[in-house]
């Protein structure tokens, strides 16, 4: 009875397997990349889509949720490129360098490729095809994981951004990766690599305005010693969005990430973060604004592999109707990572009796001189506070909006970049205004 038990493949799994087999030769690959793809595909083929019996995917059963896999995106046509000119509006108020992608494919003619000292920008498809040295050095190696969503992305990765910021470079403007959808729903496998060398500083944002497409994205972010990175991600989707952030921080690094999900049907944002040098400080934060049957899953593994680092995780979800939020935060402190200081907090505000919030903090601590705290709350709006506001003339909806704004404000206020702080708060306020 030692034969390997293989589940019958679902239609989505079958479609993904056949997509790989049919397009393998056409995917952008040097020979080394082809091997990387084959190895990743083999793992996907063996395990299939992650499902509820895989602990990390317990509350987001991708096998059940993905009824089918859409065909891979074709090259964007003129009409979809024209439409993409207006995409990324959540960050439109910020003066930034825009790089535009349609259905995951880089569109150079819509992108700002003006030269800047210390900055190199390229398309991932080009880099994969020509065996680019930066890609060879980092893709799949930043913080290796056996996660199947990452393996699936590696097997089918099509295009994305490759950004290199040379040592000591402080970029003038934030970089905004604009991901737009055409009118034809498709599967997009987006892979990006961002390498920030020693002492450099980068502010980078990603906006996804997605139709019913299925987006599988992965971003590998390498932060060199003494570098500083701020990363913002805003996701709107009527389809499926599975994104992995794979981050490796060197010594004395400062980084912050912030994710806003609003009007997002089905999102899995997973982060794999490793502190590999001493003295670094990292913050991971986010706000989810959910309604109808939306489902947003935030899952992270934060590995403190070096001592004297601090991490802060703070996530807030506002849930209306029958929406569902999942937070799984695992903090691992390696045996020699003494003086690690972590604090993880997740809070859910339930606006309806049918909404569900799942919170699962996990700590694995192998060092003895650390401070690691976590907390999780879920609750409704305080009727006493609401009455107080209403007794001053503020109506029911506006009173709730003020209290919701206050609830998420605590997390949004942590953003130090004024432009992004305002843009993300305005994004949240727009959601509140459209609340029925």
Partner 1 sequence: MSLLEIKNLHVEVEDKKILNGLTLTIEKGQVAAIMGPNGSGKSTLSYVLAGKDAYNITEGDILLDGESILELAPDERAAKGIFLAFQYPVEVPGVATMTFLRTALNAQRKLRGEAEYSTPDFLKLVRETSAKLGVSQEHLRRAVNVGFSGGEKKRNEILQMAILQPRLAILDETDSGLDIDALKTVSEGVNRLRSPERSMIVITHYQRLLNYIVPDVVHVMSKGRVVKTGGKELALELEAKGYAQYSDEAA
| Residue 55 sits in the site that holds partner 1 (CB under 8 A) | no
State which residue, 9 or 386, has the beta carbon closest to partner 1: 386
The 8-class DSSP code of residue 159 comes to: B
> Applying CB under 8 A, which of residues 1, 25, 384, 433 lies at the interface with partner 1?
384
Given 405, 419, 421, 422, the residue binding partner 1 (CB under 8 A): 405
DSSP at 308 = S
Strand partners, 232: 205, 258
- Stretch 102-141: interaction string toward partner 1, x if CB under 8 A: ----------------------------------------
Distance from C-alpha of 434 to C-alpha of 315, rounded to nearest angstrom: 22
CA distance 232 to 286: 9
Least distance (Å) from partner 1 to the CB of residue 402? Answer: 5
Cα 76 from Cα 78, distance rounded (Å): 7
Q: Determine the interface stretch with partner 1 among 170-178, 241-249, 314-322, 387-395 (rule: CB under 8 A).
A: 387-395
**Which position among 380, 396, 416, 434 is part of the footprint of partner 1 (CB under 8 A)?**
396
Among 211, 394, 417, 421, binds partner 1 (CB under 8 A): 394
Cβ proximity to partner 1: between 363 and 389 the closer is: 389
CB 343 within 8 A of CB 312: yes
Site membership for partner 1, residue 389 (CB under 8 A) = yes
Among 407, 414, 421, 429, binds partner 1 (CB under 8 A): 407
Longest dimension (CA), the chain: 72
CB 213 within 8 A of CB 103: yes
Nearest by Cα to 101 from 245, 247, 232, 206: 206
N residues, the chain: 436
129, 367, 378, 402: which one binds partner 1 (CB under 8 A):
402
Q: How far is the CB of 156 from partner 1 (least distance, A)?
A: 43
Site string for partner 1, 354-373 (x = CB under 8 A): --------------------
For partner 1, which residue of 68, 85, 362, 388 counts as binding (CB under 8 A)? Answer: 388
Q: DSSP string of 350-367?
A: E-STT-EEEEEEEEEE--
Say if CB 310 and CB 344 are below 8 A apart.
no
Taking CB under 8 A as the criterion, the residue among 387, 416, 430, 434 binding partner 1 is 387
Which of residues 365 and 429 has its CB atom nearest to partner 1 in the complex?
429
Beta-sheet pairing, 201-210 with 214-223: unpaired
How many angstroms separate the CA atoms of 154 and 218, rounded? 8
Q: Is 393 in the site for partner 1 (CB under 8 A)?
A: yes
The β-bridge partners of 324 are: 295, 356
Binding site for partner 1 (CB under 8 A): 383-385, 387-396, 398-399, 402-403, 405-407, 409-410
């Amino acid at each position: 009875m030692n034969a390997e038990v293989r589940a019958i493949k679902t239609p989505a799994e079958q479609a993904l397997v056949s997509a790989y087999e049919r397009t393998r030769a056409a995917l952008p690959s040097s020979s080394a990349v082809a091997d990387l793809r084959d190895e990743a595909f083999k793992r996907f083929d063996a395990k299939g889509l992650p499902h509820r019996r895989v602990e990390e995917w317990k509350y987001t059963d991708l096998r059940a949720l993905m009824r089918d896999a859409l065909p891979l995106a074709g090259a964007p046509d003129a009409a979809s490129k024209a439409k993409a000119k207006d995409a990324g509006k959540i960050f439109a108020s910020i003066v930034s360098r825009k790089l535009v992608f349609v259905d995951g494919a880089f569109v150079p003619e819509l992108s700002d490729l003006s030269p800047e000292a210390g900055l190199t920008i390229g398309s991932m498809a080009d880099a994969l095809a020509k065996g680019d040295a930066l890609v060879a050095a980092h893709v799949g190696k930043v913080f290796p994981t056996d996660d199947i969503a990452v393996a699936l992305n590696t097997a089918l990765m099509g295009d994305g951004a490759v950004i290199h910021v040379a040592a000591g470079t402080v970029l003038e403007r934030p970089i905004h990766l604009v991901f737009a959808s055409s009118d034809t729903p498709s599967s997009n496998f987006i892979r990006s690599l961002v390498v920030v060398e020693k002492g450099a500083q980068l502010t980078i944002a990603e906006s996804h305005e997605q139709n019913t497409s299925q987006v599988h994205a992965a971003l590998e972010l390498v932060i060199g010693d003494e570098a500083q990175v701020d990363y913002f991600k805003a996701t709107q989707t009527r389809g499926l969005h599975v994104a992995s952030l794979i981050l490796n921080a060197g010594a004395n690094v400062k980084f912050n990430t912030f994710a806003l999900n609003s009007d997002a049907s089905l999102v899995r944002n997973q982060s794999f973060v490793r502190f590999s040098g001493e003295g670094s400080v990292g913050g991971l934060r986010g706000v989810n604004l959910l309604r109808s049957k939306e489902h947003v899953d935030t899952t992270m593994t934060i590995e403190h592999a070096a001592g004297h680092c601090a991490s802060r995780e703070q996530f807030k979800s506002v849930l209306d109707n029958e929406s569902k939020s999942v937070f799984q935060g695992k903090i691992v402190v390696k045996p020699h990572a003494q003086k690690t200081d972590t604090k993880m907090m997740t809070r859910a505000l339930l606006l309806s009796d049918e909404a569900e919030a799942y919170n699962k903090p996990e700590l694995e601590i192998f060092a003895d001189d650390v401070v690691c705290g976590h907390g999780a709350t879920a609750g409704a709006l305080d009727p006493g506070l609401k009455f107080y506001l209403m007794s001053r003339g503020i109506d029911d909806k506006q009173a709730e909006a003020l209290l919701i704004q206050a609830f998420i404000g605590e997390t949004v206020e942590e953003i130090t970049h004024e432009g992004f702080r305002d843009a993300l708060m305005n994004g949240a306020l727009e959601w509140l205004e459209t609340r029925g």
